Structure 1
Amino acid sequence: MVRIMNSNWEYYKIFYYVGKHGSFTQAARFLHNNQPNITRVINMLESDLGCRLFVRSQKGVTLTPEGENLFAHIESAYQQIEKGEDEIRSDRLLQSGSVSVSISEIALHVLMLPILQSFKAKHPGIRIRVYNHSTPQGVKALEQGLVDLAVISSPLKVSDSLEATHVKSFQEILIGGEPYRSLSRRKHSLEDISQYPLITQSHDSTSFQYLTDLFLKASITLKPSIEVTTTDQILPIVEHGMGLGFVPKELALPSIERKKVFPIPLTDKLPSRSISLLQDKVRPLSLAALELKRETLQ
Structure 2
Amino acid sequence: MSINYEYYKIFYYAAKYKNFTQAASALGSSQPNVTRIMKLLETELNCKLFVREPRGIELTDEGKRLYAHVKAAVIRLEHVQEELSVRMPGTGTAVIGATETALHLFLLDALHEFKEAYPKIRIKIQNHTTPEILKNLAFGRLDFAVLTTPFELQKSFVSSELLTFREILVTGTRYANLAEGTWQIEQLKDYPWVGLSKETATYEHYKQFFSERQIEMEPDMEAMTSDLLIPLIRNNFGIGFVPEMLAHPLLQRQILVHVPLACDLPERKICLVFDKDRARNPVSVELQKYLKKYILYTDKR
Same fold (TM over 0.5): yes
Cα deviation code 1:221-265 (max 9, x no counterpart): 112110011111111111111110111111111211111101111
Runs of 4+ aligned structure 1 residues displaced above 2 Å come to: none
The AA in structure 2 aligned to 1:188 is: W
* Preserved contact between residue 239 and residue 260 of structure 1 (Cα < 8 Å): yes
Percentage of pairs with the same residue: 30
Q: Does 1:297 align with 2:292?
A: yes
Cα deviation code 1:190-237 (max 9, x no counterpart): 111211000000012111111111111110011211001111111111
Aligned to 1:251: 246
Alpha-carbon distance, 1:92 to partner: 3.0
Aligned with 2:224 (options 221, 224, 229): 229
Aligned with 1:240 (options 218, 235, 238): 235
Aligned to 1:101: 96
Q: How does 1:159-238 map to 2 (within 5 A)?
A: 159-238=154-233
* Preserved contact between residue 92 and residue 287 of structure 1 (Cα < 8 Å): no
Q: For residues 254 and 291 of structure 1, what CA distance do their matches in structure 2 show?
A: 33
* Preserved contact between residue 149 and residue 201 of structure 2 (Cα < 8 Å): yes
Query: What RMSD over aligned residues (CA atoms) do the two structures have, in Å?
Result: 1.5
Q: Does 1:147 align with 2:125?
A: no
* Preserved contact between residue 129 and residue 199 of structure 2 (Cα < 8 Å): no
Q: For residues 247 and 196 of structure 2, what CA distance do their matches in structure 1 show?
A: 16
Q: Does 1:270 align with 2:259?
A: no
* Preserved contact between residue 211 and residue 222 of structure 1 (Cα < 8 Å): no
Q: For residues 202 and 223 of structure 1, what CA distance do their matches in structure 2 show?
A: 10
Gaps of 5+ in 1: 3-86
The AA in structure 1 aligned to 2:172 is: G
* Preserved contact between residue 156 and residue 206 of structure 1 (Cα < 8 Å): yes
What TM-score does the superposition give when structure 2 sets the normalisation length?
A: 0.68
* SS in structure 2 of the partner of residue 92 of structure 1: coil
* SS in structure 2 of the partner of residue 223 of structure 1: coil
Alpha-carbon distance, 1:88 to partner: 5.8
Alpha-carbon distance, 1:288 to partner: 1.1
Q: For residues 207 and 88 of structure 1, what CA distance do their matches in structure 2 show?
A: 38
Aligned to 1:136: 131
Q: How does 1:7-26 map to 2 (within 5 A)?
A: none
Q: For residues 192 and 208 of structure 1, what CA distance do their matches in structure 2 show?
A: 20
Q: How does 1:89-128 map to 2 (within 5 A)?
A: 91-94=87-90, 96-128=91-123
Gaps of 5+ in 2: 3-83, 294-301
The AA in structure 1 aligned to 2:181 is: R
Q: Which structure has the bigger radius of gyration?
A: 1
Alpha-carbon distance, 1:111 to partner: 2.1
Q: For residues 229 and 93 of structure 2, what CA distance do their matches in structure 1 show?
A: 33
Q: For residues 128 and 286 of structure 2, what CA distance do their matches in structure 1 show?
A: 22
* SS in structure 2 of the partner of residue 108 of structure 1: helix
Alpha-carbon distance, 1:165 to partner: 0.7
> How many pairs align?
211
What TM-score does the superposition give when structure 1 sets the normalisation length?
A: 0.69
Q: Does 1:260 align with 2:255?
A: yes
Alpha-carbon distance, 1:284 to partner: 2.1
* SS in structure 2 of the partner of residue 200 of structure 1: strand
The AA in structure 1 aligned to 2:94 is: V
Alpha-carbon distance, 1:138 to partner: 1.0
Alpha-carbon distance, 1:149 to partner: 0.6
Q: For residues 224 and 218 of structure 2, what CA distance do their matches in structure 1 show?
A: 16
* SS in structure 1 of the partner of residue 104 of structure 2: helix
Q: For residues 112 and 105 of structure 2, what CA distance do their matches in structure 1 show?
A: 14
